Amino acid sequence: MRATLAILALLLPLAVGHRAVAAPPAGPHLDRRLVASRCAACHAGHGRAKSRMLRDAVQDLCFRCHGASAAREKARKAGTLTQLARPADIERDFQKPYRHPIERSDLHRADERLPERSGKVLRHAACADCHEPHVPPPRQGESLLGLRPRQAPIRGVTTEAELCFRCHGAVGNRAARSSDLGRRFAATARSVHAVLAPAFPGPMPSLIRPWTSSSILSCGQCHGSDDPGGPRGPHGSRIPHLLRYRFETADGTPEGEAQYALCYRCHSRKSILGNESFRYHNRHLVTASRGRAPATCRACHSPHGSAVNPRLIDFDTTVVLPDRFGRIAYLPVGAPAGHCRLSCHGVEHPRASALRDWGEVVSPRLPVAPGVPPPAGPMVGPKTPIPGSSLQRPHGR
């Protein structure tokens, strides 16, 4: 027994010394002014099986402090939280219809690594996929990132978008209807909302200050709680696609500040409807001549971006259909002008009158009967292809 005590006496200073060197900077969970019991708030001597000695399942453990007011008051009475602590009610957002699926966090493995490479693993989410509970997030911006000890970013992640790409990028178990957002936002894409680097070199008359064409956004500026003053981060929302503000996509939706609140947070409604960036914006969104339904922003633009077209043009092919030659195409002809080759709401774009206005001539080689195979490409004059044109084949949304 004495020998054992002697060995422990020798090892204890080493353990304490190692901890003093390797300990991460104190975050809110390790701040006694906020969490009185510090480590013991989450960890038990033996703990829950297969849980890194946690007192409860991860999401239930988090909601002890980040749940409803009754749960927070219980934590205060138990001596876990102090009176100074004001943790957000995140549990409420996870009860909304559009949320990250933490109800499947039983599938989470303590040793799992993201991005997931296997297509056999069911998609799920756990708090620890985005948050490191032991150290504070960066102060700048609206980042969700937690930092590993010694301030190293989580597994090489340095921006919020890269964190999102770990599950919404090139992963083996991506949902069938979703796309690889890492590729969508790649530097090779023709136009994107800039979440990694500035992406719009030209003028953008509709931007509301302080936004400029060189601004960089975060995913959380569009995705997150729809409650004013709600917790930061994309936990849950009542709006589809886990959006913070409304972005209506149903064809025929009347234009309004509320309907496109997401767009109008950064883009001036007055500028858009005043046709400052596109001379037919008002006609498409509002007037919809000859009794036709108005188009939505999504009919022509993808809020993420386009691999081939400028100005986020990526037609919604549940609304925009091929023309009689089988084409859905946008042809840029200099900022901010462009031509469309498509059919929308029963109207072929462009009409012959529009072609004359633009000084364009339809090639005599173009087929004129329905069912005839489409030509090799759009033409200016009799034989000259339009530089920089793109052809979008019909696809699902």
Q: What is the pLDDT of residues 270-282, one digit of tens each?
A: 999 999 988 889 9
Domain boundary among 91, 120, 151: 91
Q: What angle do CA 110, 27, 31 make, to 5 degrees?
A: 115
pLDDT at position 373, please?
43
Q: CA 261, CA 256: separation in Å to the nearest integer?
A: 8
Query: What digits encode the pLDDT tens for the residues 314-346?
Result: 999 999 999 888 889 988 876 666 789 999 988
Query: What digits encode the pLDDT tens for the residues 206-245?
Result: 999 999 888 999 999 999 999 998 998 999 999 999 999 9
Of the listed ranges 108-112, 198-202, 238-242, 257-261, the one predicted with least confidence: 108-112
Is residue 162 situated within a structural domain? no
**Per-residue confidence band for 187, with pLDDT thresholds at 50, 70 and 90:** confident
Q: 230: how many CB neighbours lie within 10 A of its CB?
A: 19
pLDDT at position 346, please?
84
Of 151 and 313, the structure prediction assigns the larger pLDDT to 313
pLDDT at position 110, please?
65
Is residue 53 situated within a structural domain? yes
Domain boundary among 91, 115, 133: 91
Q: CA 44, CA 56: separation in Å to the nearest integer?
A: 9
Residue positions counted in the chain = 397
Question: What pTM value is reported for the model?
Answer: 0.76
Is residue 116 situated within a structural domain? no
Is residue 359 situated within a structural domain? yes
Q: Looking at residues 102-112, what average pLDDT do you find?
A: 73
Is residue 176 situated within a structural domain? no
Is residue 281 situated within a structural domain? no
- Reply yes or no on whether the pLDDT at 190 is more than 70: yes
Q: Looking at residues 3-12, what average pLDDT do you find?
A: 42
Of 334 and 180, the structure prediction assigns the larger pLDDT to 180
- Expressed as residue numbers, the domain containing 333 is 315-397
Is residue 140 situated within a structural domain? no
Q: CA 41, CA 117: separation in Å to the nearest integer?
A: 34
Q: Which residue has the tokens 């909302």?
A: 193
Is residue 378 situated within a structural domain? yes
Domain boundary among 91, 122, 145: 91
- Reply yes or no on whether the pLDDT at 397 is more than 60: no
Give me the number of domains the chain comprises.
2
User: Collapsing DSSP states into helix, strand and coil, what is residue 207?
Assistant: strand
H helix runs in 78-110, sequence order: none
pLDDT at position 368, please?
35
Q: List, in order, residues 6 or more apart from 338 with CB less than 8 Å away.
A: 310, 311, 313, 330, 331, 332
